[in-house]
């Protein structure tokens, strides 16, 4: 007999075999829900629901704009957006708690297959009037300017700190916050300020707020990806392939974004 639990001080917990079994049970339950909904006609485009998980940077501007655009062609589609940390996004996919997920990632996620990707390097965001906006910028150039950075647990901050270490550069932020909206509004109210993000994060705000994105002048890679759980797909009209096409179209439609090498990854659960 195969055991699915192990006894620990805090009680009974699932072992590796138990995790695999529980995952298949969750998938079977969701498959049954989709089948019943399809039989009842509730999966028609007029009643479609797609669950999305993403990190804070994706939820700031990119997703609201793209979801609004998507609903113009599919007015019956409903969205449920779960904003969480980067580790929690892939966990949502594996647990079958979301249909599509967006995340910055430094390494492949366990049991998640990547179907497509675009690179999304960390960039410096500033006002067009900023003295650094009109020239090539290095990390050393940031000294003396008010710097607003996300928390150290975020992928973009980790890449930024790593780049500083590799270039023997020490910078001290005047503001650190886990929410990009706070960094964004600080930037708008502080013309000399600089923050970091990907081109995805400010895709729709850059031109309207007279902001520019500049490379840090160092080699780096911070991929972002869209993920869909295998076997538990949303309706065809708003499935992972359709959603990834929307993101790809948004990136390709912005010349400067393409220049920065934006990449989106589409993934599915393999367990």
Is residue 92 in some structural domain? yes
pLDDT of residue 35: 66
Structure-token match 């990136």, residue found: 251
pTM for this predicted structure: 0.69
106 and 240 assigned to the same domain: yes
10 and 34 assigned to the same domain: yes
Neighbours of 41 (CB within 10 A): 9
Tally the domains of the chain. Answer: 3
193 and 132 assigned to the same domain: yes
Containing domain of residue 144, as a range? 122-215
52 and 109 assigned to the same domain: yes
pLDDT of residue 221: 46
109 and 166 assigned to the same domain: no
13 and 137 assigned to the same domain: no
pLDDT of residue 48: 72
Tell me which DSSP letter residue 118 carries.
Answer: B
Is residue 271 in some structural domain? no
Task: Spell out the per-residue pLDDT of the chain, length 271, in tens.
Answer: 677 767 777 777 777 777 777 777 777 776 676 666 666 655 554 457 788 888 898 899 888 888 888 888 778 788 899 998 877 887 887 777 877 778 777 766 666 666 556 677 889 999 999 999 999 999 999 999 999 999 988 888 988 998 899 889 989 999 999 999 999 999 999 999 999 998 888 888 888 889 999 998 776 545 555 554 444 444 333 344 445 554 444 444 433 333 333 344 444 444 3
pLDDT of residue 15: 79
Helices (H), the chain: 16-39, 56-60, 62-73, 86-94, 155-166, 180-189, 240-252, 255-259
């Amino acid at each position: 007999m195969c055991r699915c639990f192990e006894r620990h001080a805090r009680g009974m917990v699932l072992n590796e075999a138990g995790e695999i079994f529980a995952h298949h049970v969750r998938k079977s339950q969701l498959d049954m829900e989709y089948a019943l909904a399809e039989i009842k006609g509730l999966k028609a485009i007029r009643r479609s629901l797609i669950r999305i998980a993403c990190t804070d940077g994706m939820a700031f501007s990119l997703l609201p704009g793209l979801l609004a655009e998507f609903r113009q062609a599919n007015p019956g589609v409903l969205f449920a957006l779960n904003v969480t940390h980067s580790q929690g996004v892939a966990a949502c996919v594996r647990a079958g708690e979301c249909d599509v997920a967006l995340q910055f990632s430094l390494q492949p996620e366990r049991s998640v297959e990547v179907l497509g990707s675009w690179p999304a390097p960390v960039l410096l965001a500033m006002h067009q009037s900023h003295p650094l906006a009109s020239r090539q910028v290095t990390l050393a150039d940031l000294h003396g300017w008010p710097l607003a950075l996300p928390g150290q647990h975020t992928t973009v901050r980790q890449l930024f700190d790593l780049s500083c270490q590799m270039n023997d550069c020490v910078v001290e932020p005047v503001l650190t916050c886990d929410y990009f909206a706070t960094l964004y509004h600080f930037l708008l109210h502080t013309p000399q300020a600089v923050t970091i993000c990907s081109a995805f994060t400010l895709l729709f705000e850059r031109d309207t707020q007279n902001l520019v994105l500049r490379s840090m002048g160092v080699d780096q890679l911070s991929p972002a990806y869209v993920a869909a759980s295998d076997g538990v797909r949303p309706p065809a009209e708003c499935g992972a392939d359709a959603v990834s096409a929307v993101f790809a179209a948004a990136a390709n439609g912005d010349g400067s974004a393409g220049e920065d090498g934006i990449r989106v990854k589409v993934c599915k659960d393999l367990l």
